[in-house]
Amino acid sequence: MLISIYYEIPLFVMLVLLVYFVIKSFFTWKTMSDESFGKIFFWLIMSGIAMILFVLEHLHQDLIPYSENTTLFLHFVVSHGFLLVAVIFLAIAGNHIGNFGKNFGFK
């Protein structure tokens, strides 16, 4: 089933915002001298890239019709896999944020 391009506008907005986030974070990461912040930004960038792949796969799947079996595989395995990887990267970044806070005496 081919989906109208108007229904894809939120995904295009997500794509633009995620690309902006990754580019800004990358240049910020490259100018930082603190290694603790560098680890946090690295994993946030990796999560952003995984989210970009999630959005691109969703757009591709919605705009190009496939058989039902292929569509189910792409949606539940590939697309949800990218989302899972993004959340894992966010959890790793959260762990580094927690470690960063401990270095400054926060509990």
pLDDT at 106: 66
- What's the burial of 92, exposed, middle or buried (CB within 10 Å: 0-12/13-18/19+)? middle
User: pTM to 2 decimals?
Assistant: 0.85
Q: Would the pLDDT of 54 be above 80? A: yes
Helical axes 80-103 vs 35-63, angle rounded to 10°: 170
pLDDT band at 35 (very low <50, low <70, confident <90, very high): confident
79-96 confidence digits (pLDDT tens): 999 999 999 999 999 998
